[in-house]
Structure 1
Amino acid sequence: MSDSIEIEDETTRDRVLNNTQVLAYLGRQWARRPWLLAGMIGFVSLATVTELLIPLAAGRLIDALAAGPEGNTHWTALAGYIGVAALFYLFRQMSSRCEVPFSSANMADLTTEAFSKVQRFSLDWHANTFAGSVVRKITRGMWAYDNLTMNIVYGVAPSIAVMLGMAGLMAVRWPIVGAVALGVMAAFVTSSLMLSRYYIRPQNIRSNALDSQIGGALADAVGGIATVKAFGAETREDARFHDLAWRWRAEAKKTWTRFVNSWLVNIVTDLSMQAALVGLLVWQWSRGAASAGDVVAALTAYMIVASYMRRFGEQVQQVQKSMDEIQDLAIFEMQERDVEDHPDATDFRPQQGAIRFDQVGFTYAGQERPLYTDFSVAIRPGEKVALVGPTGSGKSTFVKLVQRLYDVNEGQVLIDGQDVRHVFQDSLRRNIALVPQDPALFHRSIADNIAYGQPDATREAVIEAAKAAHADAFIRRLPQGYDTLVGERGVKLSGGERQRVAIARAILADAPILILDEATSSLDNETERDVQAAMEAVMAGRTTILIAHRLSTIRDADRILVFERGRVVEQGTHEELAANDAGIYARLAALAAG
């Protein structure tokens, strides 16, 4: 029977790994720092062996006391007992001093790598994934690693070693007692593993899935708080979240109940072992086959084993719970990126900004009909080209392929003669400045947002870029000026203010290729006129691509490409296209003019 399970929520089917895959991921994390791992495991092993000697030292002490004060053997026995106990605590302390730097460093590494991996997933992946759920999975996985490591190294492994060791010691002295102890322990370990894997895990995965949905719902509602308030929908959002929270509660209650039920099995097994061992020991003593010290040693051994057994059952369940929680990070590690750097990729070498689509074929994932077929277009260096056409005609896809946010299925996209698939993505995109229709800013200062494309820019350069984008005046009116924090996604600024900050950011980036996606759509007429004048200076000498629905913003373009169903059906200047009464552009211009 496989322990791989799939859970389906309202929007997607989550991938679930089996325990072997998760443990392999954990092993790769452990292998990062082999010397610390060896020290941690080595000292735990020494502590475990030392703990096995404690019952023997206790038995020796009892026998020495029973023999009387003659010979002073009791002092030697006492020193041996204290020495063994001291060694046990010393080894545990040394192991912990290895574990602290080991786990903290690994937790930082795996969290950083998960973040790095998620950043490089495609825009489609992010569009179909709740940001809050991703955050929840990463933070939950980080703490699950800590819990998993602690329970395996300090719990499960020592517990098995102690139980086997104690059973072996008892078997050497009393074979029948050792055999009974070994049988009960084997039944206990087997039942604990089976209950965790087949009884607890399926339900635990269901509650984890809803826990991730809670994170997603929180981020979705808080991120859209302006819309919630605009429609007075707080009560409706309360009810929606209440329903989700109580769905989670129902699944979590079932999970926790299964934990309690499995503990009951452990308790019954523990009581059975206690009754069997105590009865056997009393029987051995009554026959004279065991001394008082033997009985004390065996009872001490039993108490140690019993405590380990109780903890073992709980630790196995915690290990399973942690593996279910950390598996999201393992999935991130295993997931292939949609757009990968070529093994022989080199840095992009910016030149004059020539762009050429050479017989490009492109189909979006999940769609049967290609958007582009044998599509060829060339844009000269320094040329200002506007893209127009109805929604879904291929304008935005053109820009995304220039940025290599997707890979073409056929043909090639060349920038300055370099195939974009054979250069590093980050080096390519650093040479393409983008001003989107709805710019998202970071919750950082305005200066940091403007300098994002040129992080080593001076404050003077930031201010000059803001002036060129006609943003300096409104920035200086803010309480902290350029040091003002803009809020999450820039919510503390108006749409027009965000747009001007984004334009300033593109100006400062000083890239040879400039993409303006309705870059002035959020500006009032007066500000739009000022910014258009500023943008003319910025576009000079740069290859510029403008996506526009408002045709008034592209009248001065060197060339206008009219898209329809993934093809360029018309191209020319505004005057040339407007003169063709039967053309699509003339119809769009007529509609724009009312």
Structure 2
Amino acid sequence: MPPETSADIAREERRSGLRTIRRVWPYLWPDGQVWVKRRVVIALGLLLLAKLIAVGTPILYKRAVDSLSGEVPDLMLGAVGLTIAYGLARLMTVGFQQARDGVFARVGQRALRQLALETFTHIHRLSLRYHISRKTGGLSRIIERGVKGVEFLLRFLLFSVGPLIIELTLVAAVLFFLFDVWYLAVVVLTIALYVWFTFKVTEWRVRLRRTMNQQDTDANQKAIDSLLNFETVKYFGAEAREAARYYAAMKGYERAAVKTATSLAMLNFGQSFLITTGLVIVMVMAATGVQNGSLTVGDFVMVNAYMIQITMPLNFLGTVYREIRQSLVDMGEMFDLLDSPRDVTDKPGAPAIAVAGGVVAFDDVRFGYDPERPILKGVSLEVGAGQNVALVGPSGSGKSTIGRLLFRFYDVGGGAIRIDGQDLRDVTQDSLHGAIGVVPQDTVLFNDTIRYNIAYGRDGATEDEIVAAAQAAQIHGFIESLPDGYDTQVGERGLKLSGGEKQRVGIARTLLKNPPILLLDEATSALDTETEAEIQTALKRAGEGRTVITIAHRLSTIADADRIVVLEKGEVVEEGTHEALLARGGRYAQLWARQQADRDAA
């Protein structure tokens, strides 16, 4: 395939810009939203009035000058009256423009809110595979830039490009009818050259802007990643190393920003040169007409006023076009994000899952994060209603993958997973997630109060229900001992709490959720022995009356499970009770003996 040329790239950018404009249009003219359309129509009406008055204002200025010079006396209003009328016309122009902005404000803000919500919701519905491959800092920056561009793009598409064309057309018509075709020719040529130069240079600047955005995203991601890993940075004395990484990223941004600023200076000078040249030519023509008596001084002033009136929106055109193209780039990145396919989707008309007993069955399940590297190679097992089944095995055996497939973070590559006979792919994800409670190895908390984090288990939970969940998780006493009690702030990711305290909060919010199926994903492996024993008691209470699947590293924590399933290299190699597996002297017995030896050695 031949390499892309600059023309191919420009063509692709135009297609991308048109796609973005088509995506934005429904927010400006939404179906079924009469009040939005009414505001848009009113804003356009105010805009048209402002432009008509603006184009007629220089005529009042001309008549006032002619009246004052005595060349063409105005018997109706007089010089003073014309001057007052001129001032009122300018005031009305500004007044209609500001009224237009006020009427349109709600439309723009509504669009911004809806698009931000749509993007936020879509990101949460993307698969775990997507989020693992993305960088949070870069993702947040794309959303931030894209959403900020919405109101700007809507406002200027509606109130700048179209109105500018209307104003230029009206001014050109006035110059043609009141003067002659040469004035019109100079104005049209000036505008054409200006627009061509602006568009050409701006297209080049857009590519520079894209590079600058990439550098900005990279620097922001490195900063957030470093701050999220604050403790790790401290442990390894890597402050200088992190500063050097951030400095290198910012240096790349600096180079891109300098190029962007330099190109802007070049664009501004070129625009000024073209506009000034056109202005001077027209004014020379008008001055010649005054000298030979074919024009009045008022005509000279009016021509000057019209050229200035053209100059201002043309200068604005440069800014608007640059900003629109830059907004299209920013929003294009966000719409690319919105167009990211969802790996896991509900079937059309899928019903909610109906959990009666809570029987979980894995039938010849096959899966791999990479097709070339299978993780599960035909796993079949069944967890009976109300049973506690433990999954054990060495690292990489597929234990945690089974948990992710059960929660349907991914779809199986082969076979099926069923709950009470219902294939997980045939029911809605929301209902499935509501039926399964997960206590992970490392519970991550929101930077809010303990009450908020426990209440997160079920929307609308009462205070009594929150306290009851905390008591069942054996953390109520600790919370009560804190100066702020349940209003205690837990800090970023819950760092103000110990590992055991965080796990208890996580158990409490899972209990508040009250799911029929409980998944314990190495929920105590990161804790010390004493804390682990306390958490185990809370977990046993949490599992009462539920189907429990425990993914365990420490075999001592699952010795009393109803059944233990041993995985190795993505296959079930053994299963049975703790005593039966030890008596068999197979793989489980080897793992048990090794852990006991490690504990004795410690």
Q: TM-score, normalised by structure 1?
A: 0.93
Aligned to 1:9: none
Moved over 4 A (4+): 3-6, 69-80
Give the letter aligned to residue 225 of structure 2: D
Work out which of the residue numbers 37, 40, 48 in structure 2 matches 1:37.
Answer: 40
Aligned to 1:311: 316
Deviates more, 1:123-132 or 1:83-92: 83-92
SS at match of 2:391: strand
Whether contact under 8 Å (2:111, 2:151) holds in the other structure is no
CA positional deviation for 1:49 = 2.5
Aligned to 2:220: 215
**1:407-432 deviation line (CA, Å, top 9, x unaligned):** 12333321122222222212211111
Aligned to 1:58: 61
Deviates more, 1:350-359 or 1:424-433: 350-359
**1:455-475 deviation line (CA, Å, top 9, x unaligned):** 333323322322322222322
Work out which of the residue numbers 371, 374, 377 in structure 2 matches 1:367.
Answer: 371
SS at match of 1:356: strand
Whether contact under 8 Å (1:433, 1:515) holds in the other structure is yes
Aligned to 2:199: 193
CA positional deviation for 1:23 = 1.8
**Partner Cα distance (2:319, 2:461) in 1:** 56
CA positional deviation for 1:438 = 0.8
Within the alignment, does 1:467 sit opposite 2:465 as a pair?
no
Show the 5 A alignment for 1:71-470: 72-74=77-79, 77-78=82-83, 80-173=85-178, 174-197=180-203, 199-364=204-369, 366-470=370-474
**Partner Cα distance (1:270, 1:16) in 2:** 27
Within the alignment, does 1:23 sit opposite 2:28 as a pair?
no
Whether contact under 8 Å (1:341, 1:423) holds in the other structure is yes
SS at match of 1:579: helix
SS at match of 2:537: helix
Percent of residue pairs bearing the same amino acid type:
34
**Partner Cα distance (2:11, 2:422) in 1:** 45
Deviates more, 1:201-210 or 1:466-475: 466-475
Work out which of the residue numbers 581, 585, 589 in structure 1 matches 2:588.
Answer: 585
Give the letter aligned to residue 23 of structure 2: Y
CA positional deviation for 1:258 = 1.0
Whether contact under 8 Å (1:360, 1:411) holds in the other structure is yes
Q: TM-score, normalised by structure 2?
A: 0.91
Aligned to 2:600: none
**Partner Cα distance (1:575, 1:16) in 2:** 70
Task: Mark the CA change 1:59 to 1:467 in structure 2 (over 3 Å): closer, same or farther.
Answer: same
Deviates more, 1:76-85 or 1:211-220: 76-85
**Partner Cα distance (2:77, 2:530) in 1:** 103
Aligned to 2:52: 49
**1:13-70 deviation line (CA, Å, top 9, x unaligned):** xx99822122222223323333322322332233223212222232233334433365
Whether contact under 8 Å (1:385, 1:545) holds in the other structure is yes
SS at match of 2:199: helix
Whether contact under 8 Å (2:394, 2:568) holds in the other structure is yes
Whether contact under 8 Å (1:360, 1:410) holds in the other structure is yes
Which runs of 5 or more structure 2 residues have no equivalent in the other structure? 1-6, 31-35, 598-602
Task: Mark the CA change 1:17 to 1:588 in structure 2 (over 3 Å): closer, same or farther.
Answer: farther
Whether contact under 8 Å (1:363, 1:369) holds in the other structure is yes
Task: Mark the CA change 1:395 to 1:266 in structure 2 (over 3 Å): closer, same or farther.
Answer: same
**1:68-93 deviation line (CA, Å, top 9, x unaligned):** 36555546645653453343233212
Give the letter aligned to residue 26 of structure 1: V
**Partner Cα distance (1:29, 1:445) in 2:** 37
CA positional deviation for 1:513 = 0.3
SS at match of 2:348: coil
CA positional deviation for 1:373 = 4.4
Whether contact under 8 Å (1:151, 1:318) holds in the other structure is no
**Partner Cα distance (1:499, 1:232) in 2:** 29
SS at match of 1:453: coil
Task: Mark the CA change 1:108 to 1:381 in structure 2 (over 3 Å): closer, same or farther.
Answer: same
Whether contact under 8 Å (1:359, 1:376) holds in the other structure is yes
Task: Mark the CA change 1:232 to 1:474 in structure 2 (over 3 Å): closer, same or farther.
Answer: farther
Give the letter aligned to residue 145 of structure 1: V
Whether contact under 8 Å (1:177, 1:277) holds in the other structure is yes
**Partner Cα distance (1:71, 1:193) in 2:** 47
**1:212-254 deviation line (CA, Å, top 9, x unaligned):** 1222122111111122222232222222212211211111111
CA positional deviation for 1:5 = 9.6
**1:231-283 deviation line (CA, Å, top 9, x unaligned):** 23222222221221121111111111111111121011112111211122223
**1:532-578 deviation line (CA, Å, top 9, x unaligned):** 23322321221100011110011111111111222212111111112
Deviates more, 1:571-580 or 1:34-43: 34-43
Aligned to 1:12: none
CA positional deviation for 1:396 = 1.2
Whether contact under 8 Å (1:167, 1:179) holds in the other structure is no
Deviates more, 1:570-579 or 1:85-94: 85-94
Deviates more, 1:534-543 or 1:385-394: 534-543
CA positional deviation for 1:369 = 3.8
SS at match of 1:261: helix
Task: Mark the CA change 1:466 to 1:72 in structure 2 (over 3 Å): closer, same or farther.
Answer: closer
Whether contact under 8 Å (2:500, 2:535) holds in the other structure is no
Aligned to 1:11: none
Task: Mark the CA change 1:38 to 1:69 in structure 2 (over 3 Å): closer, same or farther.
Answer: closer
Aligned to 2:504: 500
**Partner Cα distance (2:135, 2:89) in 1:** 54
**Partner Cα distance (1:5, 1:372) in 2:** 45
Give the letter aligned to residue 318 of structure 2: G
Give the letter aligned to residue 196 of structure 1: T
**Partner Cα distance (2:247, 2:15) in 1:** 30
SS at match of 1:341: coil
Whether contact under 8 Å (2:366, 2:414) holds in the other structure is yes
**Partner Cα distance (2:152, 2:387) in 1:** 58
**Partner Cα distance (1:72, 1:585) in 2:** 105
**Partner Cα distance (2:468, 2:526) in 1:** 22
Aligned to 2:486: 482
**Partner Cα distance (1:27, 1:2) in 2:** 26
**Partner Cα distance (2:174, 2:501) in 1:** 77
Task: Mark the CA change 1:106 to 1:71 in structure 2 (over 3 Å): closer, same or farther.
Answer: closer
Figure out how many residues of one structure are paired with residues of the other and give that number.
Answer: 583
